[in-house]
Amino acid sequence: IEQTSNSSFIKKLKSTGRSLVVFYGSQTGTAEEFAGRIAKEGARYKMKGMVADPEECDMADLVEMKEIQKSLAIFCIATYGEGDPTDNAMDFYEWLQNGDADLEGLNYAVFGLGNKTYEHYNEIAIYIDQRLEELGATRVHEIGLGDDDANIEDDFVSWKEKLWESVCSHYGIEETGEESN
Ligand code: FMN
């Protein structure tokens, strides 16, 4: 799984025949690791994936996702502090708050990473999930809320299994049995 090094994740998706991009908002690496696992598993469903750091990407390019057939953007997003985004998701968060991009045709799903002992439980992931829908994007699978106070790995794995079921029925695809790309 490669990481974007330039600003255009769309160009990279197109030039490498990929249809799945998994963004992460991560401070200590958990969300980034989860993103990598999803991107890799995409190959099982004929969806070649890549991981991308929103800080390195021009997120306004999300409007162009609709130009890629059966494309999907997944967001693995941690919440910190008083319900703050991670440093690398700050610009994306502000872009969502202040902008009014037309995201019709963008298919997406969100997994949140948080901890129930905090007052602002998973707040950023919940915001992003709702805001993307408000901007016209299509939620392919309902948001998953990972709780680090219990077992976030279990939360992630059960969400991910259901995610692929939703993806398969949404796009009319079947599992290929291929393990990775
Ligand atoms: N989780 C929440 O749901 N809300 C919070 O406000 C919140 N604040 C946190 C503050 C600190 C200092 C730490 C260490 C964790 C906090 N968490 C909070 C839990 C993290 O979001 C959770 O551990 C997550 O898995 C971290 O993901 P990452 O490793 O990708 O950064």
Number of the ligand 1 atom closest to the C-alpha atom of 76: 30
pTM for this entry: 0.95
**For position 176, what pLDDT does the model report?**
74
CA of 84 to the centre of ligand 1 (A): 9
β-partners of residue 22 are 51, 74
What ipTM was predicted for this assembly? 0.99
Please write the tens of the pLDDT for every residue from 132-142.
999 999 999 99
Instruction: Give residue for tokens 């079947």.
Output: 174
pLDDT of 168 > 50? The answer is: yes
Which residue among 80, 82, 120, 145 has the greatest number of ligand 1 atoms within 8 angstroms of its CB, and so is best to mutate? 80
CA-to-CA distance for 90 and 75, rounded, in angstroms? Answer: 14
Distance 109 CA to ligand 1 centre (A): 20
- Give the tens place of pLDDT for each residue, 24-62: 999 999 999 999 999 999 999 999 999 999 999 999 999
- From the CA of 121, give the closest atom in ligand 1: 3
Mean pLDDT of the chain: 94
Model confidence pLDDT, tens digit, residues 75-130: 999 999 999 999 999 999 999 999 999 999 999 999 999 999 999 999 999 999 99
How is residue 71 written in tokens? 């494309």
Taking each helix axis as running N to C, give the angle between helix 30-41 and helix 152-171, from 0 to 180 degrees, rounded to the nearest 10: 30
Token pair for 93: 């968060």
What residues flank ligand 1, with Cβ below 6 Å?
Answer: 26-31, 78-81, 83, 86, 113-115, 118, 120-122, 148, 152
Distances (CA, A) of 68 to 15, 17, 88, 140, 181: 11, 9, 25, 16, 19
Q: What are the tokens at 132?
A: 């993307």
